[in-house]
Amino acid sequence: MPAINEIQKPRILDEVRRVLRLHHYSIHTEKSYVDWIARFIRFSRMGSRDDLFPGEPKIEAFLSDLAVHAKSGYECPCVSLQEGSEASS
């Protein structure tokens, strides 16, 4: 248990919520941001804020993994348009 005079940093998601509320973001936006940040934390197996650095390669790996493995159900409309134009030519 930490000493009473020790000041603990707020947990990262609590800090994100605080900043979003300070800037009057919608509760839906807050939930979405917190969800994505939590996904990133789980993906990168962060144990502390120090594990974030260097951040850029970890973020690139996370986004690449989403692009390759995510099953969002989203299909780019340009794909179906291109397929349709090929059929008519």
Q: Which residues contact 81 (CB under 8 A, 6 or more apart)?
A: none
pLDDT at 89: 46
Is there a domain that residue 2 lies in?
A: no
> Domain tally for the chain?
1
Q: With beta carbons less than 8 A apart as the criterion, state whether 18 and 34 touch.
A: no
17, 6, 47, 71: CA torsion to nearest 10: -10
Is there a domain that residue 64 lies in?
A: yes
**What confidence tier does 30 reach under pLDDT thresholds 50, 70, 90?**
very high
Nearest to 46 by CA among 64, 59, 33: 59
Q: Which residues contact 37 (CB under 8 A, 6 or more apart)?
A: 12, 13, 16
pTM of structure: 0.67
CA distance to 11, 52, 63, 71, per residue, from 19 (Å) = 12, 19, 24, 30
Q: Report which of residues 25 and 47 the model is more confident about.
A: 25
Is there a domain that residue 40 lies in?
A: yes
Q: Which domain holds residue 54?
A: 12-88
> For residue 74, is pLDDT > 50?
yes
CA 89/CA 87 separation, integer angstroms: 6
CATH number at residue 67: 1.10.150
**What confidence tier does 6 reach under pLDDT thresholds 50, 70, 90?**
low
